[in-house]
Amino acid sequence: MVLIMTTLYLDALQNEESSIAVAASLLKDGHVVALPTETVYGLAAVISNDDAIRSIFVAKGRPADNPLIVHVARASDVATVAVVSPLAQQLMDALFPGPLTLVLPKHPNVSDLVTAGLSTVAVRMPDLLLTRKIIHAAGAPLAAPSANRSGSPSPTTAQHVLEDLDGRIAAVVDAGPCREGLESTVVRVFEDHVVLLRPGACTREAIERVAQVRLTDAHDHSNVQHSPGTRYRHYAPNARVVIAFSKADAQREVGNDPSHMLLLAPADLDIGVPWRPLSGASVYAELRRADSLHVDKIIVHCDEQIQANEALLNRLRKAAEPRTDD
Ligand code: AMP
Ligand code: MG
């Protein structure tokens, strides 16, 4: 498959209507297009075109056994790709649109390429209106994983998308930085309970309180199919990431030679290392920025507030996992 192509840059902040029209027409023609959402930028293709779906995996270098999330413009469209139980409907009524992905039994129409052969499909309705307008104009639900090369931090700006995928995809739609900056929460919906597969931008509290459902963790259920994606090393920059739970830990990580180090923390700890602020919305941008500065070691200070942010702590821990690929 030829990967060298000119990637069209569509500025939706300046020209929203034409960006939507061009993106939708490329998608209808079977191309892959990177789109903004409230979570991270996604790499989209219409779910009915198997060749377009294959192009997503090729462009990202994504393993074929890691399924994609299907994005819909309207909650009523979920029934075209999945079997919607009363509990799934309750979650959709309370939390769609938003950064919540439901894993449901799949509709027979959905290609095995999208679901990696699983009997379930992951579905989400993005909160960003622009994303929904593009899905609507494309005329079909869109499969879209994050628009990064597999293994690198998820993109939260159009610039990040181009750093990873320029020349490998048909177009990128720019709507500025993503509001959440962390991926969606993924849950498996059963008859009478819901299992958390991946923490994300929709909090555990919102699911339990707003949707009035009981949420349990995947590791409490030996029979629940985990998200295949959680097996892979993710969200990682080139620099080594170490987590410090206290100032003393952070100081110890600095040692005698603070050169080529960066402190990512809610507030500066004055430990002789350049500091950048840490938040869910900016964490991926900071990890990428550290790489562009050729930082060797990123010390991440997780205070109590950061530790209470389940999704952010999960991504930081993954970024800090030892490399297996080098
Ligand atoms: P990404 O879109 O790159 O953030 O990744 C989507 C996440 O959803 C990955 O961790 C996938 O493994 C997971 N996922 C997608 N479809 C399913 C499914 N049918 N069952 C379980 N997890 C899924
Ligand atoms: Mg991803």
CA 67–ligand 1 middle distance (angstroms):
5
Q: What is the pLDDT of residue 244?
A: 98
Q: What is the pLDDT of residue 228?
A: 77
The Cα–Cα gap between 281 and 272 comes to 25
Q: What is the pLDDT of residue 10?
A: 98
Query: 101, 69 in Cβ contact below 8 A?
Result: yes
Beta bridge partners, 149, equal none
CA 158–ligand 1 middle distance (angstroms):
22
**DSSP run (H or E) holding 314:** helix 310-319
> Can you tell me the mean pLDDT for 230-252?
87
The Cα–Cα gap between 110 and 122 comes to 11
Pocket probe for ligand 1: among 43, 56, 65, 66, the residue whose CB has the most ligand atoms within 8 Å is: 66
% residues pLDDT > 90 (the chain): 85
**DSSP run (H or E) holding 9:** strand 8-11
The Cα–Cα gap between 217 and 184 comes to 16
pLDDT band, residue 325 (cuts 50/70/90): very low
Q: Is the predicted pLDDT of residue 1 greater than 60, yes or no?
A: no
pLDDT band, residue 173 (cuts 50/70/90): very high
Quick count: other Cβ atoms within 10 Å of Cβ 231? 11
Q: What is the pLDDT of residue 36?
A: 98
- Give the least confident one: 129-138, 167-176, 230-239: 230-239
The Cα–Cα gap between 286 and 226 comes to 29
pLDDT tens string 18-59: 999 999 999 999 999 999 999 999 999 999 999 999 999 999
Q: What is the pLDDT of residue 326?
A: 36
Residue 326, SS3 per DSSP: coil
Check if 186 has its Cβ closer than 6 Å to any atom of ligand 1. yes
Check if 44 has its Cβ closer than 6 Å to any atom of ligand 1. no
Q: What is the pLDDT of residue 221?
A: 73
Q: Is the predicted pLDDT of residue 324 greater than 80, yes or no?
A: no
Strands 120-124 and 194-198 come out as unpaired
Q: What is the pLDDT of residue 108?
A: 96
pLDDT tens string 188-202: 999 889 999 999 999
Q: Could you give the C-alpha distances from 194 to 101, 162, 184, 188, in angstroms and in order?
A: 12, 36, 15, 6
From the CA of 40, give the closest atom in ligand 1: 4
